Structure 1
Amino acid sequence: MIPTAISPDRFQALADALGHSFADQALLLEAMTHPSIDPDARGVATFGYERLEFLGDRVLGLVAAQWLLEEFRDENEGALARRHTALVRRETLAEVASRLGLGRYLLLSTGEEESGGRDNRAILADACEAVIAALFLDGGLPAAEKFIRRAFADQLSADLRPPLDPKTALQEWAQARGKPLPRYETVSRTGPDHDPIFEVRVVVEGVQPFAAKGASKRVAEKHAAAGMLAAIDQP
């Protein structure tokens, strides 16, 4: 039985939006079930969407890689890698989920509902990956690929220039002005070993240093570079 949180009509509307008729409806329900839902209240969805999210990330990565090879035959590995990063990043996933209206189909706990979970970008990105996995498990790679190529088409063609990650963009900005390469300094490390928070400062000659935090040094460096680029008004 489909849980009352998603009526049969709404379930069908969601399946239609995804362009797939599910043989195993439990897969799609699992993809829409937030981990905050009590296990005893999940109905046919044995788990929350986290397991499917894990698989969907890999399926999206594979399909996106093949798609980019087809579309940009003259680009080298570095350019393709930057495009791939932009296509599978969480911001892109959230945009796709928002456009599809996935938020209104989510099964959320009362707390998540009241805190705006249906519009939470992180939750939407997770749900989008889970949906991709549900399509893959129910209809194989062709079903998942069909959805990805349709749902992500706008993101693929939005900018024909390979996007740069913030650290690379800041490095190129500095080099173009004859400055030394950006220098990243670890300011602090706080939090428990299993959940650390790093603060990193980026220094570029002639520019006000910028500090940012992240769950790893790499993430903190990326955020610091992005912050400095914003401060010097660079895209």
Structure 2
Amino acid sequence: MLDKLQKNLGYTFKNEEYLARALIHSSCDMKKDGRVYDNERLEFLGDRVLGLAIADQIFNEYKEDREGMLAKRHTSLVRKEALADIARKWNIEPYILMSDGEEQTGGREKDSILADTAEAILAAIYLDAGFEFVVKFIQTQWQNVEVKMPLKDAKSTLQEILQKQKNALPVYHLLETKGFAHNATFVIEVQTALGSATGEGSSKQKAEQKAAHNLLELIKETE
């Protein structure tokens, strides 16, 4: 039953029970020997295994980065969206066991469920093959994951850069509001001594963050 999934993973389990449990979402409310039987404990373990594997990779790959930048790279590589993309690459959606209610609300497509299941699968591989193998597995699987600076702190990061260089703080201007009031898209421009950039978002705050993020990317390209 799970042969195709194991082929997608590029790994064949010695004990397939680990993989089977990794695919059981908590909404199933399954029990075995009187205990809850789902993938949440594996998810917990997989999160820690992934975190250490990625930390080891970026520590050795980016030898000139200081702690703050290493932390940002790490956050980007273990973010929910990155995990969900990996899960889709493995095509795990049809194999996840979940309640009818969860499935009817689009559970198989939810980034959160896909990401959690991917972490559980990593834990299953760790238990089946050991730490050294799963670290290599993770680092190979994550080779093409794009490092994205988290948008949530793009504005503060930009401000810190400007302050360190004793430049004026960034100025944000609303350039355009597109669409209808209940579904508007805002276009914001950020202007600084280091250049300018625009960003779009469903709110002014999101558009400002996107503009700051885009300017940071431009600054990084010119360094």
Instruction: Pick the aligned partner of 2:18 from 27, 45, 53.
Output: 27
DSSP 3-state at the match of 2:144: helix
How far apart in 2 are the matches of 1:104 and 1:143? Answer: 26
How far apart in 2 are the matches of 1:107 and 1:33? Answer: 5
Q: Where has structure 1 moved over 3 Å in runs of 4 or more?
A: 163-168, 172-177, 224-228, 232-235
Compute the displacement of 1:226 (Å).
4.8
Residue 221 of structure 2 is matched in structure 1 by none
Structure 2 letter corresponding to 1:112: E
The CA RMSD measured in Å over matched residues stands at 3.0
CA deviation digits over 1:176-219, x for unaligned, max 9?
Answer: 46238xxxxxxxxxxxxxxxxxxxxxxxxxxxxxxxxxxxxxxx
Residue 87 of structure 1 is matched in structure 2 by 77
Instruction: Pick the aligned partner of 2:154 from 166, 169, 172.
Output: 169
Residue 111 of structure 2 is matched in structure 1 by 121
CA deviation digits over 1:36-77, x for unaligned, max 9?
Answer: 11315x79x962111100000000011001111221122222
DSSP 3-state at the match of 1:73: coil
Structure 2 letter corresponding to 1:102: I
2:132 matches 1:142: yes
CA deviation digits over 1:152-193, x for unaligned, max 9?
Answer: 1111xx35xxx543454202434646238xxxxxxxxxxxxx
Contact 1:30 1:46 in 2 (8 A): no
Compute the displacement of 1:24 (Å).
1.5
Unaligned runs of 5+ in 1: 1-6, 181-223
Instruction: Pick the aligned partner of 1:154 from 144, 151, 159.
Output: 144
Instruction: Pick the aligned partner of 1:52 from 42, 54, 69.
Output: 42
Compute the displacement of 1:234 (Å).
4.5
How far apart in 2 are the matches of 1:154 and 1:24? Answer: 29
How far apart in 2 are the matches of 1:20 and 1:35? Answer: 25
Residue 214 of structure 1 is matched in structure 2 by none
Structure 2 letter corresponding to 1:25: E
Q: Which deviates more, 23-32 or 51-60? A: 23-32
Structure 2 letter corresponding to 1:169: A
Structure 1 letter corresponding to 2:93: G
How far apart in 2 are the matches of 1:102 and 1:152? Answer: 17
How far apart in 1 are the matches of 2:26 and 2:150? Answer: 31
- Distance verdict in 2 for CA 1:82–1:115, change over 3 Å: same
- Distance verdict in 2 for CA 1:234–1:58, change over 3 Å: closer
Structure 2 letter corresponding to 1:30: R
Compute the displacement of 1:19 (Å).
2.0
2:90 matches 1:109: no
Identity fraction in percent = 37
- TM-score between both structures, scaled by the size of structure 2: 0.70
CA deviation digits over 1:127-152, x for unaligned, max 9?
Answer: 01000100001110133123212221
Contact 1:68 1:84 in 2 (8 A): yes
- Distance verdict in 2 for CA 1:142–1:26, change over 3 Å: same
Structure 2 letter corresponding to 1:170: K
How far apart in 2 are the matches of 1:12 and 1:26? Answer: 13
- TM-score between both structures, scaled by the size of structure 1: 0.67
- Distance verdict in 2 for CA 1:56–1:225, change over 3 Å: farther
Q: Which deviates more, 51-60 or 145-154? A: 145-154
Unaligned runs of 5+ in 2: 171-203, 215-223
- Distance verdict in 2 for CA 1:120–1:168, change over 3 Å: closer
